[in-house]
Amino acid sequence: MKNHIIIKIILSFFVPLLLFSCSKNNNINKNNIDFDFTTLKKPKKNKVLVKENKNENKIILDNKIYIKDLFPLKNKEEVLSKTKFGKKDPFSKGESQSNKLNSNLKLTGFLNTEINKYVFVSYLDNEGTIKEGSIGGVNTDLLPNGAKVIKIDPKNMKLIIYFENENFIFEM
């Protein structure tokens, strides 16, 4: 009941506005534009100073306006610390080195038993299960060499793998 009253009130305000905005107003001549150009500000001109030193003409621009708008460049370490995927060094000239773990490992399911927690994965066209403590190249071929399963959380459907000094979190 309250919703109908609110809708009627809103419509009672907007319908007259719509009707008045669509009506033709004969008081305004479309060829006569009444606009006062005196209120517009004139653009400021940059100062250019010319100095002569030993038959050389030097032009010195007053760039104080532009210098205050510039941002300082970030150094290489700041940019590298924010790079997580792809090339390790975005400034190097080599091709992009994609991470073998992210591109080839696919999470397909979870299995929780009384003894262990398992994760169904697909890696390089091999499918199977891994559990906590599985190490790639040591006791499983379903992970890249050196990758270790840190934690399996079947309730939140998360898998945490430690690889190349980083923790990678896979979610389903």
For the segment 52-72, the average pLDDT, to the nearest whole number, is 58
Residue 127 is encoded by which pair of tokens?
């499918």
Sign of dihedral through CA atoms 144, 148, 152, 157? negative
In a domain, 110, yes or no: yes
The pTM of the full predicted model, rounded to 2 decimals, is 0.43
38/35 Cα distance (integer angstroms): 9
For the segment 138-158, the average pLDDT, to the nearest whole number, is 89
In a domain, 160, yes or no: yes
In a domain, 165, yes or no: yes
Q: What percent of the chain shows pLDDT beyond 90? A: 8
CA count, 13 A, side-chain hemisphere, 31: 0
> What is the reported pLDDT for 98?
46
* Domain with 141 in it: 100-171
Number of domains composing the chain: 1
With bands split at pLDDT 50, 70 and 90, how would you rate the model's confidence at 58? very low
C-alpha pair distances (Å), 5 with each of 9, 82, 114: 6, 54, 59
With bands split at pLDDT 50, 70 and 90, how would you rate the model's confidence at 95? very low
Name which of 11-15, 73-77, 79-83, 131-135 the model is least confident about: 79-83
Cα-flanking dihedrals φ and ψ of residue 140, to 5°?
A: -155, 150
Tokens 């100062």: give the residue.
47
In a domain, 71, yes or no: no
In a domain, 13, yes or no: no
21/40 Cα distance (integer angstroms): 29
In a domain, 12, yes or no: no
Which CATH number characterizes residue 133's domain? 2.30.30.830
